[in-house]
Amino acid sequence: MKKTGFFYVMLSLLVVSGMLLNACGPREEAEEKEEVMEEHPLNTLTEEEKEEGFFLLFDGETTDGWRGYNMETFPPEGWVIEDGLLRCIGEGTGEAGGKGGDIIYDQKFLDFHLKLEWKVSPGGNSGIFYLGQEIEGEPIWKSAPEMQILDNERHIDAQLGEDRKAGSLYDLIAADPQNTRPAGEWNKAEVMVYRGTVVHRQNGEKVLEYHLGTPDWERLVEESKFAEYEWFGQYKPGYIALQDHGDDVWFRNIRIKEF
C-alpha cells in the first residue's frame, strides 16, 4: 500500500507540473520574442520592413542625407552623433532654437510612412516636421505641420493646451489617447500621409487623423495662428525635418517608405 500511495503522489505531482509548464509556455514565448525584438540592431531594418519597402534615413554613423534648413551642409555645431543616436544639443537657456537650427532630410516626400524613436530631456521640447517647404528667410514651421515632441510633465506648453502635448498636430489637433512616456524614455512616433489623409501614431496607437485640403482642414487653419501663412499644410511634396528648440533631444531608428 505504501508503494502504491507513493506512486499516485508522484503521478499527481507530474501532472500538476505539466499543467504549470503548459500555462507558462505562451508567456515565456512572448517574453523570449520581446527580448529578440529588443536585441534587433540599432538603426537597421527588420526583414519585414525591407519587404515593405522601408529604407533608413539615418545609419547611426553619419549625417549623410541631412543638412541644415536653408543651408547647403549639415550644421557645424548643435547636432552630433553619439552612440548611434542623432542628438540635438540643448543650450539650457529656455529659449526656442539652438546653435544647430532645424535639420532636414534632403529629399521631398508626398505619400509616405515615417517611423522613428525619440526621447527628450526633462523640460524639453522639439518636433517632427513634414511636407515642409524651404522658403528663404522663413522658418519651416510656417509651411510644415508638426508632430509635437515634449516633456508633458514639465514644459509649459503642456499647460497651454492638449494640442501642444507630445504626439499632437502642434497647436491644432490634440493627440488622443495621450500615451507619451516620461522624459528620458524612448517614444515611438509614426507619421503617415496618403492622398491628403494624415495619421499620427504614438507608441503603437493611432492618436489623430486629419485630411489636408478639405473644408474642415481649411477652417481649422483659418482659426489658427497659421492662417497668415499661405504655404502652410499644403498637400504637395515637402521635406521632413527635426526641430532644434534649444533642448536636448535624441533620435534613432529613422526609416521611411513611400506609397
pLDDT, tens digit, 9 for 90 and up, residues 52-88? 999 999 999 999 999 999 999 999 999 999 999 999 9
- Angle at CA 38, nearest 5°, toward 103 and 66? 15
C-beta of residue 132 within 8 angstroms of C-beta of residue 140: yes
- Asked whether residue 209 carries a pLDDT value surpassing 80, the answer given is yes
Here the cell at position 144 is 510644415
Q: Locate the domains of the chain by residue range.
A: 1-39, 43-258
Average of per-residue pLDDT across 194-201: 98
pLDDT, tens digit, 9 for 90 and up, residues 11-23? 344 444 444 334 4
Backbone angle region of 141, left / alpha / beta, with phi > 0 → left and psi within -120 to 50 → alpha:
alpha
The mean of the pLDDT values for the chain is 87
Here the cell at position 79 is 547636432
Superfamily of domain 43-258 in the CATH hierarchy: Exo-inulinase; domain 1 (2.60.120.560)
User: Residue 108 in 3-state DSSP?
Assistant: coil
State the DSSP code for 227: G
Peptide bond into 26 cis (omega under 30): no
- Residue 8 to residue 259: CA distance in whole angstroms: 64
Here the cell at position 236 is 504637395
pLDDT, tens digit, 9 for 90 and up, residues 119-150? 999 999 999 999 999 999 999 999 999 999 99
- Asked whether residue 101 carries a pLDDT value surpassing 70, the answer given is yes
> What pLDDT is recorded for position 92?
60
